[in-house]
Amino acid sequence: MFAKHRQIFLTGVFFLDAALLYASWAGAFWLRFHVLPIAAPLGTPRFSSYLAYGAILVLVALLVLRSLRLYRSQRTSRLGQEILSIVQGMVLVTALAALGSFFLRGELARSVLLLFAALGTVALSGERLLIRLALRAARRQGRNLRHVVLVGTGPLAASVARKMAANPDFGFAVKGMVAARSDAVSPAEGETPVLGTIADLPGLVERSGAELVYLALGREEWEAEQEALERLADSTAAVRLVPDLARAFTLNASVEDFDGTPVVLVTESPDQGWNQVLKRAFDLVCSAAGLVLLSPVLLAIAVWVKLDSPGPVFFTQDRVGMNGRRFRMLKFRTMRPGADAGGAQWTTKNDPRRTRGGELLRRFSLDELPQLWNVLVGHMSLVGPRPEQPAFVEQFRGSIPRYMLRHHVKAGITGWAQVNGLRGDTPLDRRIEYDLYYIQNWSLLFDIRILALTVARVFRDPTAI
């Protein structure tokens, strides 16, 4: 019955979206030709022809939104994720409409398409917000709940139970746990009742009225998991499998569909899909603007380096970046020629190999400015873990756990570790900890925050090297 009601609800959302999109298309026409002070050299087109095009466009939009899984249950998804999918869908629909208009010899005004994209995005996002507010109110009053039985009594099952309790807006009501063995008489948390063992599973699910069964067993309990799956084969309850990753370090873990086979992505870069496009666009705009605006400063520093000591203006060195690929990193030279002849070594405070001007350049991190070129060509990012020399990478990967995970993202000019005072000759394990925190919690706002902290730290910390 619940599945039937859910399908009716999602079908209703589908048709409501169609109405909102069609209204947005009509509203875009009305705004463009009757409200906004925009000249129409070719005159006002027929509204009836736009309505006909709108019907086709709405159908295409619904198909695109459906391909983005917007008409599936969004119970455990965040509003931001849903709105992002709407934005992606509307951008794609608008691009397709513009392409269609090109083949129709420009019969659709580009301004109407842009207004439609804006109105449609706002309308669908507002609709989703109101739906979530209504469902939240209903679930807090005990309605629209999904009753759940957890198979397992260990830490993993307890963690799932805590997450369900901590997110009442998801609408899960845990009826109890099912133990893998008869001697597991109490759950790890001591609050959720144990209903019985896996041997009694089908009857327990039926008597509890559970619509969902979450299998949350440890990897050592694989036999119990197999038995549970076999006993649930005839159950009407939907079964969910929670993988036990407690002994594995996860990095942006997710699940993908590999030709019908679910695959758990244990360690994954956050620079995927739209995140990658967003971060790369931010890097391109900022690095190009930086190179142009700072060109007088760069020229002055180059002249200063040349006059300060004999040797080249720039210092280039092999560094290891994303996916372990090597690249040549640029810096203004701050060391005397031949300073690295002894092989890879750390730079220390008051390093005797520095030139007179090199100490000041490093004090204000001005020697790093040429790396804007590395960012522009795609070797680096503005923000990310600082790249190391290949010799250090080979040394650390065998002695520091999870060291290579920092190479799941592009190396950066600055990073979370650096703005927290971990730069140069500082404890490497602490730097890795901060680098991994950055990768796990990446967002564009986080990058902007780190850039702001970088500027503040450079000019306020006299010990920076």
> DSSP assignment of 263-312, as one string?
EEESB--S--HHHHHHHHHHHHHHHHHHHHHTHHHHHHHHHHHHHHSSS-
Assigned domain for 257 exists = no
Assigned domain for 259 exists = no
**Domain identity same for 286 and 424:** yes
**Domain identity same for 129 and 153:** no
**Domain identity same for 310 and 335:** yes
Q: What is the pLDDT of residues 295-344, one digit of tens each?
A: 999 999 999 988 888 888 898 989 999 888 999 999 998 887 766 655 55
User: What is the residue-averaged pLDDT of the chain?
Assistant: 83
Reference 107, options 31, 53, 30, 33; nearest CA is 53
Assigned domain for 31 exists = yes
**Domain identity same for 52 and 188:** no
Quickly state the pLDDT bin for 1 (edges 50, 70, 90). Answer: very low
Domain count, the chain: 3
Residue type, 294: L
Assigned domain for 268 exists = no
**Domain identity same for 234 and 285:** no
Residue 320 has φ and ψ, to the nearest 5°, of -105, 125
How many CB atoms within 10 Å of residue 406? 28
Q: What is the pLDDT of residues 345-360, one digit of tens each?
A: 556 566 666 777 777 8
Q: What is the mean pLDDT of residues 107-129?
A: 90
Given 90, 123, 140, the domain boundary residue is: 140
**Domain identity same for 302 and 337:** yes
Quickly state the pLDDT bin for 464 (edges 50, 70, 90). Answer: very low
Which residue is it, tokens 């923000």?
383
Domain that holds residue 242: 146-247
Assigned domain for 279 exists = yes
Lowest mean pLDDT among 169-178, 349-358, 450-459: 349-358
Can you say whether the dihedral through the CA atoms of 395, 397, 400, 406 is positive or negative?
positive
**Domain identity same for 78 and 200:** no
Given 140, 158, 186, the domain boundary residue is: 140
Q: What is the pLDDT of residues 93-110, one digit of tens each?
A: 998 888 877 776 656 788
The pLDDT value recorded for residue 141 is 81
**Domain identity same for 277 and 410:** yes
Given 120, 140, 160, the domain boundary residue is: 140
State the pairing for strand pair 326-332/254-258: unpaired
Report percent pLDDT > 90 for the chain: 28
- Alpha-carbon distance of 369 to 61, in angstroms, equals 45
**Domain identity same for 152 and 59:** no
**Can you give the CATH number for the domain in which 174 is found?**
3.40.50.720
Can you say whether the dihedral through the CA atoms of 50, 51, 57, 58 is positive or negative?
positive
List C-alpha distances in Å: 205 to 148, 353, 359.
Answer: 9, 73, 71
**Domain identity same for 120 and 39:** yes
Structure tokens that stand for 110 in this block:
């580009």
Quickly state the pLDDT bin for 463 (edges 50, 70, 90). Answer: very low
**Domain identity same for 56 and 9:** yes
- What is the rounded (10 degree) CA torsion for 125, 131, 137, 141? -150
Assigned domain for 266 exists = no
Q: What is the pLDDT of residues 7-53, one digit of tens each?
A: 788 889 999 999 999 999 999 999 988 888 777 666 777 888 888 88
- Alpha-carbon distance of 171 to 104, in angstroms, equals 48
Assigned domain for 58 exists = yes
**Domain identity same for 449 and 319:** yes
Assigned domain for 348 exists = yes
